Amino acid sequence: MKNVLVVDDSPMIRRIAKKILEELNFKTCEAEDGQKALAAVNAEMPDAILLDWNMPVMDGLEFLINLRQLPNGGSPKVLFCTTESDVKHITRAMQAGADEYIMKPFNKQIVKSKFEEVGLC
Amino acid sequence: MSHAFAALQAFLLKSSGLSLDKEKKYLVEARLTPVIEQAGLSDLGELVTMIETDKALAKLVTEAMTVNETFFFRDRQPFEGFRSAILPELLKQRARQRKIRIWSAACSSGQEPYSIAMIVDEEARQLTGWTVDIVATDIAESVLKKAKDGVYTHFEAQRGLPAQHLVRYFAKRKDNWVINQHIRARVDFRQQNLMADFSHLGMFDVIYCRNVLIYFAPDQKRDVLNRMAQRLAPDGYLVLGAAESVIGYSSEFKPHSANRVILSRRSATPHHEPLRAGASLEQARAAK
């Protein structure tokens, strides 16, 4: 079973994402900001990361840049999942090493489609 | 089974080839209740009586009952197969004419032809000096209008469409995403009922007819497939939906090695030989 780290400061979003991902047969773990997510990936590198952009302490983009510099940090598929939904943000995320981009609000179809896109579904 | 339901079945079969079995009663209710209310009628019985004479209403019923489910790059295989097998073969087969014609039959709100158009755009370097015509048809004017507008909701724009494609080929307008003019201009949208004669569309090298024939009755399926075979170049390709096959309906097609949704004409010549092209076949037919 593939493991997805859900990084979002909203417990509600984490709960919804977790439910959808479990229905798609993923194992999930959670972190509420970029710094906690870094600690989590240092302990165990997941197969994929569903990543919010705007979070306290460390935001998603900063986390992603840090992640990609870690040994094995290139391996997880990173899918942004954010309310930021303009071309500029999407382009910036992709350039920083994101594999896919989900604009909130999302549903199961979108999550499934994006995980298929990165080859995990 | 009620008389009204039987009358509706007969009407749909005749008007659109749609085969409606009685398990689909819930579908009739879900789709036609708004039409009945809008027309100020009281029930399905009244509706089926009205559509015998009211053409506009008949059209609304057909549009409401035909399935429009679609999304970008749906099922992947038909598009990956186009890029990795069909296009390279056609680049050889049509080297002299430098022209490829593709038909997206029952294109719904346009995601299928636009997905093809995006691939054609990505392969533009190989296609320098080539003409690629994409004709997209649907029976329903309402979805064709949406297709021509090329405006997709937040949800539609995220289904099947990679983020790279979204930023490359779409612009954001309020909460929607609008496909770029140069992709929109690649697709020629036309209203076409597959039950009616479609020979005026000309000859094609590739026909996408996915997840349409599954709703057709066997006779209609046979008829459409055989008329499609006549519109397809001898070395052309028919692309079907993931769960579809022509077995028992047409002997004009055979499986292609690339993947199981792609079929080629049974009369096809091996692709490395110089070809009798679709264009000359068309001329031959026109000369008859």
Tell me the shortest Cα–Cα distance from B160 to chain A, in angstroms: 6
**Hey, of B80, B158, B177, which one would you mutate to test binding to chain A, going by the most A CBs within 10 A of its CB?**
B158
Cβ distance A94 to B159 less than 8 Å, yes or no, reads no
pLDDT, tens digit, 9 for 90 and up, residues B36-71: 988 899 999 999 999 989 988 998 898 888 777 789
Looking at the complex, does the CB of residue B162 fall below 8 Å from at least one CB of chain A?
yes
Cβ distance B154 to A100 less than 8 Å, yes or no, reads no
* Residue carrying structure tokens 């999407």: A90
**What pLDDT was estimated at residue B34?**
86
Chain A stretch 91-110, residues whose beta carbon is closer than 8 A to a beta carbon of chain B: 91, 94, 98, 100-103, 105-107, 109-110
**What pLDDT was estimated at residue B282?**
43
Looking at the complex, does the CB of residue B154 fall below 8 Å from at least one CB of chain A?
yes
Phi then psi for residue A48, to 5 deg, are -150, 155
pTM of this structure: 0.84
Using CB atoms, which residue from B155, B162, B167 is nearest to A87?
B167
d(CA B154, CA B229): 38
d(CA B146, CA B142): 7
Chain B residues touching A110 at Cβ < 8 A:
155, 158-159
Q: What is each CA distance from A38 to A44, A72, A92, B15, in whole angstroms?
A: 10, 13, 20, 60
**What pLDDT was estimated at residue B125?**
95
Tell me if B208 sits within 8 A of B184, measured CB to CB: no
Tell me the shortest Cα–Cα distance from B163 to chain A, in angstroms: 6
Q: Which residues of chain B have pLDDT under 50?
A: 270-288
Chain A residues touching B76 at Cβ < 8 A:
116
Longest CA pairwise span in chain A (Å): 34
Looking at the complex, does the CB of residue B173 fall below 8 Å from at least one CB of chain A?
no
Q: Are strands A77-82 and A48-51 parallel, antiparallel or unpaired?
A: parallel
ipTM of the complex: 0.91
Residues in contact with A30: Cβ distance below 8 Å, sequence separation at least 6, in sequence order: A5, A6, A7, A8, A14, A18
Tell me the shortest Cα–Cα distance from A86 to chain B, in angstroms: 7
**What pLDDT was estimated at residue A60?**
98
Select from A74, A65, A110, A41 the least CA-distant residue to B155.
A110
Phi then psi for residue B266, to 5 deg, are -65, -25
**Hey, of A79, A117, A118, which one would you mutate to test binding to chain B, going by the most B CBs within 10 A of its CB?**
A117
d(CA A20, CA A16): 6
d(CA B47, CA B54): 10
Using CB atoms, which residue from A86, A87, A102 is nearest to B158?
A102
**Hey, of A79, A80, A89, A113, which one would you mutate to test binding to chain B, going by the most B CBs within 10 A of its CB?**
A113
**What pLDDT was estimated at residue B271?**
47
Cβ distance A113 to B71 less than 8 Å, yes or no, reads yes
**What pLDDT was estimated at residue B20?**
84
* Residue carrying structure tokens 């009369």: B267
What is the torsional sign of CA A45, A51, A55, A58?
A: positive
pLDDT in tens, chain A (121 residues): 999 999 999 999 999 999 999 999 999 999 999 999 999 999 999 999 999 999 999 999 999 999 999 999 999 999 999 999 999 999 999 999 999 999 999 999 999 999 999 999 8
Looking at the complex, does the CB of residue B180 fall below 8 Å from at least one CB of chain A?
no
**What pLDDT was estimated at residue B1?**
57
Select from A106, A101, A49, A89 the least CA-distant residue to A72.
A49
Select from B244, A100, B237 the least CA-distant residue to A111.
A100
Looking at the complex, does the CB of residue A119 fall below 8 Å from at least one CB of chain B?
no
d(CA B166, CA B26): 36
Select from B202, B205, B199, B272 the least CA-distant residue to B235.
B205
**What pLDDT was estimated at residue B166?**
97
Cβ distance B159 to A109 less than 8 Å, yes or no, reads yes
**What pLDDT was estimated at residue B29?**
86
